[in-house]
Amino acid sequence: MNRRDFLSHTGAVGLSAQAQAIAVEGPRYAGKPALRITDIQPFLVGLGGRNYCFVKVMTDQGIHGFGEAYSVGPDEATVATIRDFKHWLVGKDPRNVEYLWAVMYQFTRFPGGAVINAAISGIEHALWDIAGKAAGLPVYMLLGGKCREKVRVYQSAGGATPAELAASSQRLVSKYGYTALKMAPYPPGSSTLPYNAVTRAAAERAQAAREAVGPDVDLGFDVHATLFEPIRAFQIAEALKPARPFFIEEPLRMENVDALAELKRKIEIPLATGECLYTKFEFREILAKQAADIVQPDVCLAGGIMELKKIAAMAEAHYVVVAPHNPMGPLATMVNVHFAASTPNFLILEYHPDDTSPRKDMVKDPILVKDGYLPIPDKPGWGYEVNEEAFKHYPPKPWHRGFAFRSDGSPDFI
C-alpha cells in the first residue's frame, strides 16, 4: 500500500501536512535527544512456584527500560503477545506512552483479557522507565510528584491451623515491623469441608491472628473470589467481624457487580476487590454501583501505571481508596511504589520481601521494608538496576494454579 492509499484508507486525505504526518507516524517529540524504539525483549524467569515475565524496551540512544507483565499461567502466550506488539512499536518514540498504549489496546480490536493486558502492562512500565531516564527524573515526578514520603505495605501470613497462623503473624510483625497483615480465612482443603466447618474455622483463625498481634495491627482477610453464593459471603463476613478486619478481599465472585454491591451494603467490614479486573472500563461499573470500599487493580495486569492512575482518579471521585494487588516480582513492587508515591488516595500495598534469593537476585540494590514501610527512590526511571545476568540462572517452567475440587468431585473456584 503506497502512502496516498494509506492516507485514504485511514481517512487522512484532506488533513493538513502536520496532521497527515501524525496519522502515518504518530505524535513526534521535537526535543532532544530524539528517541526511537529499536527492540522489545521478553524474559521468562522461573522463581519458585511460578514464572515472572520481565520486558526490556531498547532505544537508538542506548537508553533502555524494564517492565514486568503478570504471569497468568500460559506465560508463553504473554511472551508471544509482547513479541507481536514489538512490530507495532519499533521506530516510535517511547515517551509517547498514551499514544503507544492506545495503539496496543485499540488495534487489538476486541477488549483484551489476562494475556493481552499483561503484555500491554509490562511494555507500558518499560516506556515510563525510559521516559524517566531520558528526563533524569524518577517516574513519579512525571506523574505529579510525591504526595507522601514512604509507602505502607503488608504481607500475607500463612498457616494450616489457627496456632500456625498466629505464629506466622507474630513472626512477620516482629521481623518487618508491619502495621498490617493479610491472610486466608479458610484452612487448607476447605473445598471439601461442610459450610459450617469452613465458617467456624474462619472465625477461629481470625481470632487467633488478632490475639497474636494485638488490637492495633490491621488484618485483611482474602476469600480469593472462591464463594459463589452471596449468603455464604455474608456469613463469612459475620464470622470475621469480631476480629475487626481491615478489609475482606474478594468475598464474592466478581462477575456479578450487582450482587457485590448488595453484599457491601449488608456487611460491616470494608469490601476490597479488583485484582481480576482490567483497565478503567471494568472498574467503572464497580465504582458507579458503589460495590467496593477499596479497589485493588494490579499494575502488571490492569494496563500499567498510567491506567492505575486513571482508575485511582475515578475511585477518588467516588470516595474509594486504592490498595494495589501485587503478588509479582521486585520490579512490580517498584512500579507500585511510584504509583503510591504520586497517588493521593493510595491506602496500602501488598508486598513480598526482596531480602532473600531468588527475588533479591533479580535487581541490584533492592529497596527493603523498614518498620512496615518502603522508602521512595530518587533515581531516574524506576530507580532499579535490573540484573539481567541473573535471569539465566532461573529457567522458566510450565505451571498453572492448583486445582480445587469439592467433596462430590465438581470443580470449585480457586
Tell me which residues are annotated as active site. 224, 325
Q: Using alpha carbons, select from 268, 348, 346, 259 the residue that is nearest to residue 309.
A: 346
* 301: enclosing H helix or E strand: none
Question: Among 51, 47, 108, 38, which residue's Cα sits nearest to residue 79?
Answer: 51
- Within a 10 A sphere around the Cβ of 66, how many other Cβ atoms? 25
Listed in sequence order, the residues at least 6 apart from 52 whose beta carbon sits closer than 8 Å to its beta carbon are 44, 45, 46, 68, 71, 328, 329, 362
C-alpha dist (Å) from residue 204 to 70, 165, 232: 34, 10, 17
Q: Shortest CA distance to 173 belongs to which of 369, 377, 394? A: 369
In 4-134, where do the E strands start and end?
37-47, 50-59, 64-69
**Which residues, 6+ apart, have CB-to-CB distance to 137 below 8 Å?**
380
**Distances, alpha carbon 1 to alpha carbons 8, 9, 26, 86, in Å:** 10, 10, 18, 21
C-alpha cell at 414: 480457586
In contact, 177 and 369? CB cutoff 8 Å: yes
Among residues 328, 281, 339, the alpha carbon closest in space to that of 118 is found at: 328
357 Cβ contact list (under 8 Å, min separation 6): none
CA distance between the termini of the chain: 49
